[in-house]
Structure 1
Amino acid sequence: MRAQVKGAVAPARRRTQAERTALSDTRMFDAAIKLISEHGTERTTLKEIGELAGYSRGLAHSRFGSKEGFLGQLFTRFDGRWKAHINDHVGDKSGIEAVLAALRAVREFLIAEPSYMRAMYILWYESLGHDSKIRNKLADHHRIYREDAARWVQLGIEQGEIDPVINAEQFSVQFNGFIFGIIYQWLVNAEALDLPAIFDDYESTIKRLLSKKD
């Protein structure tokens, strides 16, 4: 039996195949975010994604089958991160508290994950010019966002916190209109916007608008 040398460093554990696959996927998604942010989706190729990630030019294609398949997985990955982020903020809140929590979640994500947000919204906006799985998924997500906001407001009305004259469905459209409108302006010229001031002012507007009047 061979004695262990005192002070010797134990050999590093070899990654499993699943771990290696997860790592390569993460690196390729990160590379895609960088490329899409700089060049858009049309000028970003699977070959470039694989090479920038440090792998063979054919890995992304062999792993995902097509560019549309890769972008679909990128959408799913972002969607998972966004849902976890907003759930951490909103949780089981309702009424004005839930609306403000969702607004703060958007602001924090814009500030903390600018490259990710930029790439994903470029991907979404560029999908609008043709029928695609991503466009259909985006339409479904917008419906969910509106339903969530309307539900928060309706619960606030039922709980006596929000003014019953408020139309929950119409507010949800306007609320999402603010969010996506700000993000669009931010994509065009981020330096022109003072995001903290804009979001703080809108929070005050929401409180005044929704609060039940005496």
Structure 2
Amino acid sequence: MNHRHSPSPSPQDRRPLTRKSQAERKAESEQKLFDALVDIVNREGVSAATCERIGKEAGYSRGLTTTRLGRRDTMYARLMDRLYQDQVDRLAEQNVDELSGLDALRKYADLHFEDIQHKAGYRAYFILVAASLTELPSIRDRVLMQHELVQTLLASFFERAVKEGELARDTDCRQRAAILGSFLFGVAMQTRLSEKEHLGPIKQGAYEIIDLGRSV
């Protein structure tokens, strides 16, 4: 009489399931909650992003949402910090410190135009900047600090271009950084008003600001 035997479980099948650590579960829930917050801000604005709404969208309770994100002012301050750090990390991935001054500026502009179209967090960042003047005055100091850091970064790229002989020696680097930063901020606001805006010619305008006074 033949007996059929079930195949023996493989070593992989016998391995115990690994459970996520408390820190991993916390990080995962925070990421989902911040992602939900970004989505709501992009769709409906900051006033719609209550802890109840955020938790429901992310699949968590209101209580856990409040515990993970904090109260309204704390929540938005933390979100601003996360979104700003995302920008810093994105630039680092592009090795801008190894580029010439003008190439670093062009790369910054390229990422700006790419991210305002395709990165939800980057788009939400500019909504929060605008809201700091109206609905969210509590984050205004943080916005100003981050704005100054960006201006300093852009100025350092212009200074590098001057030092490398790409731009004229009398270039006012701080002024040029302010002009470029204002232009890019305006583009971000314009895309909120009209998402069908054709950005190709506008990006060329950013390049023209960067190359103004370029040495031949």
Q: Does the TM-score normalized on the shorter chain lie above 0.5? A: yes
Q: Secondary structure at the match of 2:46?
A: coil
Question: Could you state the TM-score of these two structures normalised by the residue count of structure 2?
Answer: 0.86
Give the alignment partner of residue 211 of structure 1, picking from 191, 210, 214.
Answer: 214
How many residue pairs get matched?
Answer: 207
CA displacement 1:96-128 (0-9 Å, x = unmatched): 122112111212222331x22222221221111
Q: What residue number does 1:105 align with? A: 111
Could you tell me how far apart the structure 1 residues matched to 2:17 and 2:117 are? 36
* Percent of matched pairs sharing the same residue: 25
| Structure 1 residue identity aligned to 2:194 | N
CA distance in structure 1 between the aligned counterparts of 2:52 and 2:135, rounded to whole angstroms: 23
Supply the distance in 1 between the matched residues of 2:187 and 2:136 (Cα, whole angstroms): 25
Gaps of 5+ in 2: 1-6
Question: Of the two, which has the highest radius of gyration?
Answer: 2
The AA in structure 2 aligned to 1:211 is R
Corresponding residue of 1:72: 77
Q: Does 2:39 match 1:51?
A: no
Q: Distance in 1 between matches of 2:127 and 2:75?
A: 15
Contact 2:41 2:124 in 1 (8 A): yes
| Corresponding position of 1:61 | 66
Show CA shifts across 1:26-72 (max 9, x none): 11011111111122111210111112111112111123331111111
Alignment-mate amino acid for residue 59 of structure 1: L
> Corresponding residue for 1:182?
187
Pick from 13, 24, 27 the counterpart of residue 22 of structure 1. 27
Moved more, 62-71 or 25-34: 62-71
1:50–1:56 Cα contact (<8 Å) kept: yes
Question: Aligned match of 1:202 in 171, 194, 206?
Answer: 206
Q: What is the aligned-residue RMSD (CA, Å)?
A: 2.1
Write the letter of the residue equivalent to 1:102: Y
1:150/1:169 contact within 8 Å kept: yes
TM-score (norm 1): 0.87
Residue 210 of structure 1 aligns to a residue whose secondary structure is coil
The separation in 2 between residues aligned to 1:197 and 1:11, in whole angstroms, is 57
